[in-house]
Structure 1
Amino acid sequence: MSRAAAFWGDRRGASALEFGLIAPLFFAFLFGIVEMGLLLWTQAGMQHGAALAARCATVNATLCPTGNPGMITAYASQKAFGLNLPASTFAYSTPACGNQVTASYQFQFPQILNLAPLTLTAASCFPA
């Protein structure tokens, strides 16, 4: 058997080669799932904080006085599923529907992806 025939018939290292070809795609997919999870968690936290703050403004005048919107937005920030969102993410208003809390946040993807930030929004209105 010639040396070239022996080289092409050799199967050692085939698993390492397959791993080298598939690993970048696998890790990119895994990283994408994690980032999508963080994005959805942030969205859910913002919605939860807005809903609880709008309800608090209606039913608990001591904890969330409507005359002090800063306390309402701070309460919303505290109730956002453990996210460290600043109170300025949330805004309080009193439209026709009652006490409304809205949120807007720029979700920044990791720099390695080089993507523009995605604006997440949430809103909740509780009848007064």
Structure 2
Amino acid sequence: MEIVQIVGFGLIATILIIVIKQKTPQIAFTISILVGAVIFLLLLDKIQAILSVIQKLAIQANVDVLYLSIILKIIGIAYITEFGSQVVRDAGEGAIAAKIELAGKILILVLAIPIIQVIIETILRVLP
């Protein structure tokens, strides 16, 4: 099971980081970022499989590729924002982490405007 390997890797890295943090916090922080990146890389094939399935479902449902692209970008922004804000928060910078989260939310809203517009237009067509 891949999750056991990932959790094991994370636990070992955490123990290493705790030991190193006392003497050299900068190296511990760097290890933390690298571990996060490695875990992300381990999941890339799964992410690709998910994207492939979503694309196939969208084609079968005759969903406009533009909307699918927007939704995938929104999901990407959400994950990247979460990862970035957690790293910054781990570094002790909660205020900057909050600003990263705010930026992510605003960018998601900007990307969602075409979808919101279509929904409102559809509702207006349905109403008498």
TM-score (norm 1): 0.34
Structure with greater strand share of residues: 1
Structure with greater helix share of residues: 2
Larger Rg: 1
TM-score (norm 2): 0.34
Larger RCO: 1 or 2 (CA < 8 Å, sep 6+): 1
